[in-house]
Structure formats: structure tokens, C-alpha cells
Structure 1
């Protein structure tokens, strides 16, 4: 009977959520239908899907605002109308573009994130219920919903698999349809069903009549489970304390050196700030010694660390310019520093100010003209134009190739273009032309190969020959394929590739893969060496990152650009690279490649 009562309560909660958030449920149903159609057709409908997701988030956020500040049915109707209008406005904005760009995805994600935070914060503005309680309720509801969804999907997948194996064949798309219904429809609705009704103007009568019940419901929903309290207080906080000590020691030891240029530290500091703020809110109502010390000390530690991170990130923009990722890192650092100051002085009950700041900063980052994308696009275009003008490559709004550009300027040109291409901005740059393709046109446009800086300072180069590129073999006496790779410990000192005859004489092509003395050579029938090629010189020709730490990729090279030739009085050897792989981080096999070897006897 208890199990039946529990199931009845769960179903009742789902029904209450549907009646409480009707517009959100409608948007979710339509989103699930659109995604189901996309699964069947194999064609994504990203614009429609994003539109309905945004509409669903607007629906539950505006419903929360109505419950807190309004009471008349007309007000609820107005909030629904506003939701529909804003959703239509969003669709009109994204529909004007032919594709859903990365910028659209990021803007939408930030907007949805802001709406979710608003949904948690708005119901408790100037309320007897604190933001800490609302956040804990949402935190628990999210993981409950996630757990139920995972279990449900696992069970349905097993049923589908059993039917397919034992009874009859089931369409493989059934799994995707099940995941679609659970993730888009069930999980959000179940999450909303777990959120209690908070005190507000719209339900003041309800609370007067059943105040004890609703307060009990809110208390139960927002209470911290014992296992979570133990996890936070006695495991996560001590581990975070040790991690903080390590960060502080590193910063102190390197404050005058590599701290300001260490790319690896930036995501660590951002992750640290996120963790501190999240844990602070979660332990805000826990009264053991660890939680109290954490609330007292960590906000004060957070401020100087994120200030260092902000300064470090700003200094890096002098080399790379401002991209949206760096913009968000700096903006989040400012948010974390301001939040740390507030958390150091305001009462724990007033933590809602963190949510308000987060919403303000999130909206600031996506609303022009000072948003992440307007700033980054303008900055990167100016950087590119400045370097091109400096090297006299941009004249009369046309680019002139210049292979003698310095390594640093090559890096800037390549990195800015990589970013502009990734964000879809290159089509709006007049001097590049609307048909500019970064991967196919880069070398012909600028006169050198493309650079890409690796985050961890590991150098790698990958190149391949365009299979349609013609190779002129007239005048040569032999052609052989060479699969070459350096070996640190080579058990075979030499390897004969082939013998061939020319003018009645026999010649031999051999190679050595030894790491220190790798070479290819031609010898006559007496074993005398006629000509040799140091294979390190061949790879150095393609190693355009020899003076920097970059990762580059060049596909579809022409035969002319991929040919290494050596000549003396005896013979000519040409190596046409089919593909090249240079991995400086791999000390065992740093160089490898496949070549056509063309030989001419004089």
C-alpha cells in the first residue's frame, strides 16, 4: 500500500506540474515532436528545437514571477502572452540565419542558464524562504530527476533490446525516440513537479488556509540530506582546502614568472571559483564546524585568487586578442570577485544577491553592444587587419601573399582567422571574399601554411597530398613508395627498398630509420653511395612550427608544395610526401610519413 501511495503522489505531482506550468508543458511537447521528426528524417531542426526550449524556460520563469508578485487570472494570461511573444521574437532572430551558428548556441545557452537561475531566485525575493532553501530544493530536484530519467531510459532500452532479440526486429531509432521523450518531456516535467509552491501573492489565500502543510513541504524539499551533508562537510571541503593550498603555493612561487602565461592554470582557477561559490550556497544552512569555517574563510580567499586570474587573463589578451571564451573567463572572474566580497560581509540568508549578479552578468554578455560576440568579433578583425597592414599584405582591400612574415605575425594571422572562421564571421570580411575557405585557400591567400597554437604547448604537424594533384614522373628512372618512421631503438640498421636497372646497370635504394641517423640513399652495383638524403631535413621542410609551439593541419597539398628534391653530380632524388605526421610530444616516434621516391641517374 505504501508503494501505491508513493506512486499516486508522484503521479499527482506530475499532474500538478502540468496544470501549474501549462505553457512550458506545451512547448516541451512540441519540442519532443520536432525532435522525433528530426530523428526519423535524419535532419536536425535546431532553430525550432532551440525556440521551444527557450519558450519552455520562459514559461516556468514567468510562472514563478506571477506566483510571487501577482494574483489575478488576467496577470497570468498576460505573463503567458509575454512568454509567447518573446518566444516568437527569439525565433524571428535565429531564423534570419541560414545555419545555427556557434554564436547562436552560446547566446541561447547563456540565456537559458539565466532563466533557470531566475526561476530559482524570483520565488524567494523578499520572502520568508531564503535563496539557499530554493537552491537546495532545485539542486535535489535536478539530481532526482536525472536519476529517475537514467533508470527509466535504461529499463526501456533493455525492454527494446529484449524484444529485438527475442520477438521481432525493432527499428534502431527506437532508442533515440525513447531518449527524446525522457530527456525533453519527462525529465523537465518531473523536475518541475518536485519544486514546491513558495509563498507569494497569488497563493496567499492558500497559505493562510494550509500554512503549516506548505511550510512543511518547503522544509522537506529544501532540507539537506544527511549523506550530502557528510559529503560536503567531511570530504569535499577538506579536499577543496588542500587544492586551495596547492593553488596558493603555486601562485606565490610563480607570481613573478610563468603564472601570468600558464594557459593550464586559467581553467583551474575558473573551476575553483565555481566550486567555492556552489559549495558555499549548499553549506549555507549546515551548522557543523567545517561548514562554518568554510563560510568564514573561503570567500576571503576567493577574492585575491580570482583577481590574479582576471589580471592574468587580461594580460593574455595582448597576445591573442579577445575571443568570446576569454571574455567569459574575465567576466566570470569579475562576478566571482564581487560575489566573494558580498559573501564575506552579508548574512548567509542574503545569498540571493549572488543569483541576481549572475543573471545581470549573463544578460550583459549576450546583449549588444558590449556582449561577448560583438567585442570579440570587432577585436579579432582589427587584430587581423592590423597585422596584414603592418606586413604590407592588405592593399586596396586585397590580400597579397607574403611568405616572409615573421613567425609571431603568422601565428596571429592564423589564430584570428581560425576564430573568425569558427564563428562564421569570415564571410563578412570584404578582403577575404564570400567564397574564402580557410582550409583550402589559406596557403594561396597568405603565402604560408596555417598555424594553430596547442593549449599544452605540444607541437604537431599533419599534412597530406591532394590525391588529384598530378605528379610529373617523366625523366626519372624509377619510382618506389617509402613508408618512413624514426625509431629510437632500431634493431635493423638498414633496409633495402628495391633494385632497379638503368642503362644496363643495377642500382639500389635503401633507408635507415634510426632516430639519430635516419637517411635514404642510392648506391650502385658495387655498393658505392651515389647520393643520400637526411630524412630529418625532409621533415624539417614541413615542420613549419620549428620556431614555435603550434599545431597545424594542411590537407590537400599540391605535389609541388609537398616535394623535397636533392641533386648532385651522380643523381637526383625527389620525395613527394603523401602524408606527414610530426609529433614532438612523442619521443619514441616523433616523425613518420609516406612518400613517393623518384630517382634519376645522370
Structure 2
């Protein structure tokens, strides 16, 4: 009987969620339909999907505001109308774009995040409920909804697989449709069914017994489960303490050196701040010595660490300019520092201010003209323009290619153009043009190939020949293929024999003391006609003016891929079909495949 009662309770919770959040449910159903159309037709409906998700989040937040501050049905209708109006406004904004760029995606995600935080914060405004209690109830609901949804999806997947294997063929898209229904509809509705009704003026419209029942559900929802208390107090907090000690040791030991230029540390410090604030809010609901110690000590540790992170991020702007990612790192650092100060001197019951600050900073970051994207775009465009002007590469809104600029300026130009292209801003730059393609047009525009950082910052080089590029073979009489791999233990020295003018010639490779070895052309008597140093060949693709390749180029034409050498006895042209010049701390490893064109004079 208890099991049946439990099922009835869950079902009644789902039904109550449908009536409590009707507009949100309608938006979610629309999102499921549009996502199903996208899966079936393989058409991009992202703008519609984002619109429906925005409407769904606005719906739950405005419903929470009505429950907390109002009791009249007319006000609830006004709140729904406001939700529809804001959603329509959002759609009109994204509709003007032909595709959803990274900027639109991030702006939308930040806006949805801010609305969701408001959903957790509104119930505690001028309420007996503290923010850590609302956060705990939301966290538990989210965890339970994820667990149930995950189990449900796995079960559906197994059923579909069994039908496909045992009964009849099932389309692969069935799995995506299942994930769509579970993730886009069941998960959020079940999550909302677990959200308690908080104290508010809307309680006046409910029967007394219903209010009492809701109060009991609220108390249970805000309680921290024993499992979570043990996990946070005796596992997460000690691990976080150890991690903090490591960070402090590193910062102190490198305060005059690598700390200020180590890009890896920025993301680690931001992650550290996120975890500390998250655990602080959870620990505010706990009553044990470990939690008390954490609440007293960690906010005071957080402040100096994030201040160091802010300074390091600002210094990095001088090297690589300001991107939206660094903007958010700095802005979050400021938020974390302010929150840390608040947590250090104010009681935990007032931590709702943290949510309000987070909402404010989030909205600040997407509001022009101070938003992350307007500022980062202006910074990168100015950085690119100033560098071009300093090198006399920009005149009358026309870029003059110049492969002889300094390596530092090449790096600045490459980084700026890569970022602007990634964010789809290049079409707004008059001297690049609307159709500028960073992969196809970079070399012809600037006169050198773009940089691409790898994790070791050694700028390895990867090149390939455009298979559609015509190769001029006039003046040559023999064609061969060379596969050159520097680290290969065993290789056949003979590349090939050929005849010319009634005589036989041989092209072979030999290992030498010099890195790279050599290609040797001899006649039938063994006389050496030509020797090609392979290191010089690879160096040509690394440092020559016609191809300063400190990067990767996806497709070279035949002229760009050619290395030609001749003397009074022969001429050889090596045309690289693919090259890998791997620069590591141990040295450079050269590998490549070549077409070889030969003529005997």
C-alpha cells in the first residue's frame, strides 16, 4: 500500500506541476515538437528551440513571483502575458540573424541562467525561508529529476534495442526522439513537481489543509539528506581543503614568476571559486563542526585567491587582448571577491545576497554597451587594426600582404582574426569583407599563414595539398612518390630507378649526421648528380618568405607546396601532399609525403 501511495503522490505532483506552470508546460511541449522536427528533418531550428526554452524559464520564475507577492488571479494572468511578451521580444531579436552564432548562444545561456537563479531567489525575498533552504530544495529536486530521467531513458533505450534486435528494424533516430521526450519534457516537469510551494500571499487562495500539507512538503524539501551531509562534510570539504593548500603553495612559490602568465591557472581559479560558493550555500544548511569551520575559514581564503586571479587575467589582456572568455573570468572574479567579503562578515542566513549579485552580474555581462561581446569585439578589432597600421599593411581600407612582419605581430594578427572569425565578426570589418574565410583567405590577405596554439605552445605545423590544385609538369620527364618519416627505424633507401636519354638513373635516400637525411640522385656509373638536404626542405615550409607556416594550412595550392632545386645536370621539384612538422620539447620531428618531379639536363 505504501508503494501505491507513493506512486499516487508522484502522479499527483506531476498533475499539480501541469496546473501550477501551464505556460511553461506549453513551451516545453512546443520545444519537444520543434526538436523532433529538427531530428527528423535534420534542419536547424535552434532559434525556435531557444525561444521556447526562454519562455519556459520565464514562466516558472514569474509564477514564483506571483505565488510570493500576489494572490489575485488577474495578476497571474498579467504575469503570463508578460512572459509571452518577453518571449516574443526575444524571438524578434534572434529572428533577425540567419544563424545562431556563438554570441547569441552564450547571451541566451547567460540570460536563461540568470532567470533560473531568480527562480531560486524570489521565494526568499522578505520571507522566513532562507536562500540556502530554497537552494537545497532546488538542488534535491534537480538531482532526483536527473536520476529518474536517466533511469527512464536507459530503460527506453533497452526496450528499443530489444525491439530492433528481436522483432523489426528501428530507426536510429528513435533514440534521439526518446532522449528528446525524456530530457525536454519529462525531466523538467518532474523537476517542477518536486519544487515546494513557498510561503506567500497566494496561500490565501488555498484551503487551510492544503496550506498545511504544502508546509510539510516544504520542510521535507529544505532538509539536507544524511547522505548529502556526510558527502559534503567529510569528503568534499576535506578534498577542497587539500586542493586549496596546493593552490596557495603554487601561488606563493610563483608569485614573482609563472603565476601571472600561466593561462591554465585562470580556469582552475575560476572553478575553485565556483565550487567554494556552491559548497558554502549547501553547507549553510548543515549543523556540524566541519561545516561551521568551512563557513568561517573558506570565504576569507577565497577573497585573496580570486583577487590574484583578477590581476593575472587583467595582465593577460596585454598579451592576447580581451576575449569574452577573459571578460567573464574577470567579471566572475569580481563577483566572487564581493561574495567572499559578504560571506566573511555576514551570517549565512543572509546569503540570498549572493544570488542577487549573481543575477546582477549576469545581466550586466549581456547588456550593451558594457557586455562581454561588444567590449571584446571592439578590443580585438582595435588590436588587429593598430597592428596592421603599425606595419603599414592597412591603407585606404585595403590590406596589403606582408610576410616579413615580426613573429610577435604575426601572432597578434592571427589571434585577433581567429577570434573575430570564430565569433562571426569578420563580415563587419570593412577591410576584410563579408566573404572573408579564415581558412581560405588568410594567406592571400596577410601574406603569411595563421598561428594555432597547441597545449604545449610549440606551434607544430600541419600542411596538406589541395587535391583539386593543378600541377604543372612541363619541363619534367619523371614522376615518383616519396614517403618520408624521420623516426622510422627501417626504410628502403631506394626510391626508384628511371631511364632518360638511354641511361639509367637512381633516386635514393640516405641517413646523414644532419637531422633529416638527404635525397641523392646518381647516374648508372654511380656519379652523384644532385643531393637534397631534407632538413632544408622542411625548413622551407617553416621559415621561407613564401610560406611562413608557423601554423597549419588546410589546403595549399601546388605552387605553395613546391620546393625546387636544380643545377647544370638535373632539376628536382618536391611537391608536398601532406606535411607534419611536430615541434616538441625534445626537438622537431619532420614527416611528409611528396610528389617528386625530375628532369635530366
TM-score by length of 1: 0.96
Query: Separation in 2 of the partners of 1:101 and 1:527?
Result: 63
The residue correspondences of 1:152-551 to structure 2 (distance < 5 A) are 152-204=152-204, 206=206, 212-487=212-487, 490-492=489-491, 495-512=493-510, 516-543=515-542
Identify if the C-alpha distance between structure 1 residues 187 and 357 changes in structure 2 by more than 3 Å, giving closer, same or farther.
Answer: same
Contact 1:415 1:453 in 2 (8 A): no
| Superposition RMSD in Å | 2.0
Cα drift, residue 165 of structure 1: 1.6
SS at match of 2:439: helix
Deviation at 1:568, TM superposition (A): 3.0
CA drift of 1:460 comes to: 1.9
Structure 1 runs of 4+ off > 6 angstroms? none
Distance of aligned partners of 1:2 and 1:407 in 2 relative to their CA distance in 1, 3 Å threshold: same
Per the alignment, do residues 551 and 80 of structure 1 end up closer, same or farther by CA in structure 2, a change over 3 Å counting?
A: farther
1:52 aligned partner: 52
* Other structure's SS at 2:440 match: helix
Q: What is aligned with 2:592? A: 593
Equivalent in the alignment of 1:571: 570
The answer to whether the 8 A contact 1:453-1:550 is kept is: no
- Mapped to 2, the partners of 1:111 and 1:334 lie a distance apart of 19
Deviation at residue 471 of structure 1 after TM alignment: 1.4
* Per-residue deviation, 1:513: 6.5
Contact 1:461 1:552 in 2 (8 A): yes
1: distance between equivalents of 2:411 and 2:360?
Answer: 36
d(CA) in 1 for partners of 2:274 and 2:197? 28
How far is 1:588 from its partner? 9.5
8 Å CA contact 2:541–2:549 kept in 1: the answer is no
Alpha-carbon distance, 1:590 to partner: 2.7
2:112 matched to 1:82?
no
* TM-superposed deviation, 1:42: 1.1
* Deviation by residue 1:44-87 (Cα, 9 ceiling, x = unmatched): 20111100000000000000111111111111011000000000
State the match for 2:115 in structure 1.
115
- Which 10-residue stretch deviates more, 529-538 or 205-214? 205-214
Relative to structure 1, the CA distance from residue 571 to residue 586 in structure 2 (aligned partners, 3 Å threshold; closer, same or farther) is farther
2:322–2:379 contact (8 Å) kept in structure 1:
yes
In the TM superposition, residue 583 of structure 1 has moved relative to its aligned partner by 2.2
1:286 to partner: Cα distance: 1.3
**Cα 1:585–1:11, aligned 2, differ >3 Å: closer, same or farther?**
farther
1:264 counterpart SS class: helix
TM-score, normalised with respect to structure 2: 0.96
The answer to whether the 8 Å contact 1:263/1:455 transfers is no
Superposed CA offset, 1:287-338 (max 9, x none): 2222111111111111111101100000111121111111001101111111
